[in-house]
């Protein structure tokens, strides 16, 4: 099953619409008819080659045991850039370059990576911010 690019903000597809392209990824253990929204901003969208616009919104299936960790693991297995920039599969952790927001809460406050996803959940990957 391949991931699907959602329409532009304010319109287009919802996270329950079903799969379409652009990742060209195969998701092992995808749950039929169960999708979440994955939004990428700034350089993350460009580096991950998921779209050419400053922000990208994608519909991806809930996979495996239905946790955030299972989804991140699946994306990391499917694309080398995702594994290099976002999620370390061996250590099962997000890398310091990103912040993950789940339904408007930091992932740590939303139940962590072992939180079970529900159809229609919204995940946002933001570039990490540092400096002083």
CATH code: domain of residue 18 = 3.10.20.30
Total domain count, the chain:
1
Q: For residue 30, tell me if it sits in a domain.
A: yes
Q: For residue 113, tell me if it sits in a domain.
A: yes
Is there a contact between 37 and 5 (Cβ–Cβ < 8 Å)?
Answer: no
What is the arithmetic mean of pLDDT over 10-30?
A: 47
Q: Give the whole-angstrom CA distance, residue 79 versus residue 74.
A: 9
What does the pLDDT read at residue 53? Answer: 52
Q: Residue 11 is part of which domain span?
A: 4-127
Q: Give 8 or 99, the one with higher predicted confidence.
A: 99
Residue 2, CA distances (Å) to 24, 93, 98 in order: 6, 24, 24
Q: For residue 46, tell me if it sits in a domain.
A: yes
What does the pLDDT read at residue 16? Answer: 46
- Least confident piece of the model among 15-24, 28-37, 70-79: 15-24
Q: For residue 110, tell me if it sits in a domain.
A: yes
- Least confident piece of the model among 22-36, 49-63, 65-79, 89-103: 22-36
Q: Using one digit for the tens of pLDDT, what is the confidence trace for 76-120?
A: 988 889 999 999 999 999 999 899 999 999 999 999 999 999 999
What does the pLDDT read at residue 11? Answer: 42
Q: Give the whole-angstrom CA distance, residue 46 versus residue 97.
A: 14
User: What pLDDT band is residue 21 in, cutting at 50, 70 and 90?
Assistant: very low
Q: For residue 132, tell me if it sits in a domain.
A: no
Q: Give 75 or 9, the one with higher predicted confidence.
A: 75
């Amino acid at each position: 099953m391949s991931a699907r690019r959602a329409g532009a903000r304010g319109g287009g597809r919802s996270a329950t619409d079903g799969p379409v392209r652009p990742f060209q990824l195969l998701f092992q253990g995808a749950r039929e008819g169960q999708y979440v929204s994955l939004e990428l901003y700034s350089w993350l969208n460009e580096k991950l080659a998921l779209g050419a616009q400053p922000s990208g919104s994608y519909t991806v299936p809930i996979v495996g045991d239905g946790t955030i960790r299972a989804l991140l693991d699946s994306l990391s297995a499917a694309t080398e850039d995702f594994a290099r920039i976002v999620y370390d599969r061996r250590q099962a952790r997000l890398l310091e370059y990103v912040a993950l927001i789940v339904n408007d809460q930091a992932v740590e406050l939303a139940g962590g990576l072992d939180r079970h996803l529900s159809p229609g959940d919204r995940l946002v990957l933001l570039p990490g911010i540092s400096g002083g």
